[in-house]
A and B are shown apart, each in its own frame.
With several copies, the nearest count.
Chain A
Amino acid sequence: MKPSISVDFCGISFKNPVITASGTFGFGREYAEFYDLSELGGICVKGLTPQKRPGNPPPRIAETPMGILNSVGLQNPGVDAFLSGELPYIKQFDTRVIANISGNTIPEYCEMAEKISDSEADIIEMNISCPNVKAGGMAFGTDAGMVKDVVSSARKFSKKPLVVKLSPNVTDICEIARAAEDAGADALSLINTILGMRIDINTRRPVLHRNVGGLSGPAVLPVAVRMLYQVKKAVKIPLIGMGGIRTGSDAVEMMLAGASLVAVGTACFSEPMTPLLVRDGIREYLEKHDISDVNELCGAVAEYKD
């Protein structure tokens, strides 16, 4: 018997647990040249802001051992242009749409949450953890009090499930996770990028024009797995796991740690087909281990107790 790989996440059904990570997949148009986007569990779009944003000056990317740093700085056409110009395009495909929003202020989050609530997007993801912008961004995500304020406010304006995306750049991820849960988050996603830096030793300049940027890719996988594992024990709401997933095995590891859905980001840069390969890899694992339903994996790590 073929294992079931569909997941019910906050009342929304996903045909499979693999989604794309915000900012690595644009609005889907480019990868639609490679495969049918309906094969994906869902698409999380590039981070949106109330107005169009130009983003940071280049260079915006640096390579690191098994990872990358980016400092795109939320270049995007603004939430309205997304709703009118991009969302209808994605909606042609039979897949879930997660709208990722980034604000500088609480009212900005509320305004975007409200607008998206009236659209065909399925889920709202609040990015309170972007390390690549000056105001707002990561600052919100690193202080439990601020997390509570911004999430409880946005919650009032959201008619869709509200996912809060956590920053790994914190001392105690569980404290932040609980603050988001208490404030009414329906789910959490983690991890956003880890703040990092590279310096070109020949020019003595940072490689990135913003000096520092966010680390993602395989290098961060063990940090992501650890945080999923910790947060799973700290909250009751479901989790989206991301950070370094490249293979079905990586995704299974993330699910055993506590993820209901998994997102694939940086790995698409090495191989555009990665999300589908990850989905296939999950299915093969289930078949090999005679597991009939992917949901059985969620949080099923058998931790050592002594």
Chain B
Amino acid sequence: MVKDIKTRIREKTKLSDTAISIVFDMDSEITPGQFITVGCGAERILRRPLSVCDAVNGRVRVVFEARGEGTAWLASREPGEILNVLGPLGNGFRLQSDGLPALFIGGGIGAPPVLFSAKRFVDGGDAVIGFKSKKFVILEREFREAGKTVSVCTDDGSYGVKGFVTSEAERLLKKKRYGRVISCGPTLMLREIAKLAASYKVPCQVSLEERMGCGVGACLVCACKIKGKDGDEYRRVCKDGPVFDAGEVLF
């Protein structure tokens, strides 16, 4: 059941120079990869979509970066303040057990839903998370706590492995047989991961981003191009996604 609630911020933590973690009350069944939309001030019409990073004991956590005005507004909220939250929305990652480990790949602020997936996934696996540089690294410890090995990559090598997540992912794909790739991050990264997974014949699920209006599937603004049975067609990131099979996405 999608909820449309006003809820109180319970915790707020700065994870890095740019990433903020907020926890609020929301008692819902949530699948990793699903998202919520949050109102960002009376002066803004559109809610901002944020992936759920964790959901336990009636509390939901999101991790986000202040990019533009709306998320800057959100970043300046404090515990005790009220948020308008709608969710959970969309389809999450398919995480049913098949006995094979999974490869979790998160780029930048795409890491949070991947972490949530890693936590819920039962067949073990490895995680690769990538960031611009050391000061942007987040959630490393939590991936480890989720029982996954973690490789951290930074573009400039200031922490962990130098380079993009793709090289590290390829190294792992060469070594081990994975049942699936679970991935979220910048579109360019997802495109490369999709190619990589295809070349290693591992099913790959990606969580896409697109600007949204309603967030519930009614307005058709959040279009992404998908290979359909009867030719290419636009599908809704908010309702048909945000998780898609990488193979059907026309990046």
Q: Do A and B bind each other?
A: yes
Using a CB–CB cutoff of 8 Å, the interface residues on chain A facing chain B are 23-26, 29-31, 33-34, 46, 54-63, 65-68, 70, 72, 75, 217-218, 266, 268-273
Question: Which of B1, B219, B239 is most buried by chain A, counting CB atoms within 10 A of its CB?
Answer: B219
- B45–A67 touching, CB < 8 Å: yes
Contacts of A66 in B (CB 8 A): 43, 45
- A30–B218 touching, CB < 8 Å: yes
User: Is B141 an interface residue when CB atoms closer than 8 A count as contact?
Assistant: no
Among residues of B, the one whose C-beta sits closest to the C-beta of A65 is: B43
- B45–A217 touching, CB < 8 Å: yes
Contacts of A25 in B (CB 8 A): 218-219
Contacts of A269 in B (CB 8 A): 45-47, 213-215, 219
B233 CB, min distance to chain A CBs, angstroms: 6
- A61–B218 touching, CB < 8 Å: no
- A270–B39 touching, CB < 8 Å: yes
User: Is B15 an interface residue when CB atoms closer than 8 A count as contact?
Assistant: no
Main secondary structure of the interface of A (DSSP, over half): loop
Among residues of B, the one whose C-beta sits closest to the C-beta of A71 is: B221
Of the candidates B217, B222, B232, which one forms a contact with A26 in the assembled complex, judged by CB atoms under 8 Å apart?
A: B217
- A24–B4 touching, CB < 8 Å: no
Complex CA gap A29/B4 in Å reads: 17
Contacts of B46 in A (CB 8 A): 61, 63, 68, 269-270
User: Is B211 an interface residue when CB atoms closer than 8 A count as contact?
Assistant: yes
Interface residues of B in 214-251 (CB under 8 A from A): 214-225, 232-234, 239
- B86–A272 touching, CB < 8 Å: yes
Of the candidates A33, A58, A72, A270, which one forms a contact with B47 in the assembled complex, judged by CB atoms under 8 Å apart?
A: A270
Tally B residues with Cβ within 8 Å of A.
32
Contacts of B223 in A (CB 8 A): 55-58, 60, 72, 75
User: Is B44 an interface residue when CB atoms closer than 8 A count as contact?
Assistant: yes
A247 CB, min distance to chain B CBs, angstroms: 10
The list of the 3 closest CB pairs from A to B, nearest first, reads A26-B218, A61-B221, A30-B217
- B218–A70 touching, CB < 8 Å: no
Complex CA gap A269/B49 in Å reads: 12
Given A68-B46, A272-B216, 11 extra CB contacts under 8 A: A24-B213, A26-B218, A30-B218, A33-B1, A34-B2, A63-B44, A66-B45, A72-B221, A218-B45, A269-B45, A270-B47
Complex CA gap A30/B216 in Å reads: 6
User: Is B210 an interface residue when CB atoms closer than 8 A count as contact?
Assistant: yes
- A31–B216 touching, CB < 8 Å: yes
27 A-B pairs (CB sep. < 8 Å): A23-B219, A23-B220, A24-B214, A24-B219, A26-B219, A29-B217, A30-B217, A30-B239, A33-B1, A34-B2, A54-B233, A56-B223, A57-B225, A58-B211, A60-B220, A61-B219, A70-B219, A70-B221, A72-B219, A72-B220, A72-B223, A268-B214, A268-B218, A269-B214, A270-B39, A272-B86, A272-B214
Complex CA gap A23/B57 in Å reads: 38
User: Is B103 an interface residue when CB atoms closer than 8 A count as contact?
Assistant: no
Contacts of A33 in B (CB 8 A): 1-2, 216
